[in-house]
């Protein structure tokens, strides 16, 4: 339910998007980490696959960083291209109403093809 996510500090626009994604209630990892992350605390979290880790750190990032602009505001490092695409896809869904742009960047593929509004800065 959207109010359960808002109650733990998730931005209203992000909460609306995750409700549309079918997330009914925050998972234990989300309940524990989101309030701490929104407050700016550093943390390490470990949980099994499918427990909501991407939703946890994604909602923290989208809630703390202002949307807009052409300069990257957050970088999420992943060990594989496949995981980078999965995280980018989930974050993109979560950013549906927040105005954030999410792009997976990795070697061997043009960023311009994945993000038409992106322009290389002159050096």
**CATH code for the domain of 81:** 3.40.50.300
Indicate the range of 25-29, 61-65, 94-98, 109-113 predicted with least confidence: 109-113
Q: Which helix (H) or strand (E) holds 121?
A: none
Euclidean distance between CA atoms 98 and 14, whole angstroms: 6
- pLDDT of 92 strictly over 70: yes
User: Is residue 121 in a domain?
Assistant: no
Q: How far is CA 46 from CA 7, 33, 52, 73, 78, in A?
A: 23, 11, 11, 24, 15
Q: Which helix (H) or strand (E) holds 33?
A: helix 28-38
Measured over all CA atoms, what is the biggest interatomic distance in the chain, rounded to whole angstroms?
A: 47
User: Is residue 12 in a domain?
Assistant: yes
- pLDDT of 106 strictly over 90: no
- pLDDT of 119 strictly over 90: no
Residue 57: partners with Cβ closer than 8 Å, 6 or more residues away: 33, 37, 76
User: Is residue 122 in a domain?
Assistant: no
Q: How far is CA 19 from CA 48, 61, 75, 105, in A?
A: 22, 18, 25, 27
Rg, the chain, Cα only: 15
User: Is residue 22 in a domain?
Assistant: yes
User: pTM to 2 decimals?
Assistant: 0.83
Indicate the pLDDT class of residue 120, thresholds 50, 70 and 90. Answer: low
Domain that holds residue 35: 2-114
pLDDT for res 122: 55
Euclidean distance between CA atoms 122 and 76, whole angstroms: 24
pLDDT for res 95: 96
User: Is residue 123 in a domain?
Assistant: no
Q: State how many domains the chain has.
A: 1
User: Is residue 58 in a domain?
Assistant: yes
């Amino acid at each position: 339910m959207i109010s359960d996510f808002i109650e733990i500090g998730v931005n209203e626009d992000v909460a609306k998007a995750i409700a549309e994604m079918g997330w009914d209630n925050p998972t234990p990892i989300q309940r524990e980490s989101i309030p701490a992350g929104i407050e700016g605390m550093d943390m390490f979290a470990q949980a099994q696959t499918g427990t909501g880790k991407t939703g946890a750190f994604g909602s923290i990032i989208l809630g703390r960083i202002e949307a807009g602009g052409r300069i990257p505001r957050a970088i999420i490092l992943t060990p594989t291209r496949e995981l980078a695409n999965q995280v980018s896809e989930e974050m993109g869904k979560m950013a549906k109403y927040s105005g954030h742009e999410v792009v997976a960047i990795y070697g061997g593929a043009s960023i311009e093809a994945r993000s038409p509004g992106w322009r290389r800065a002159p050096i």
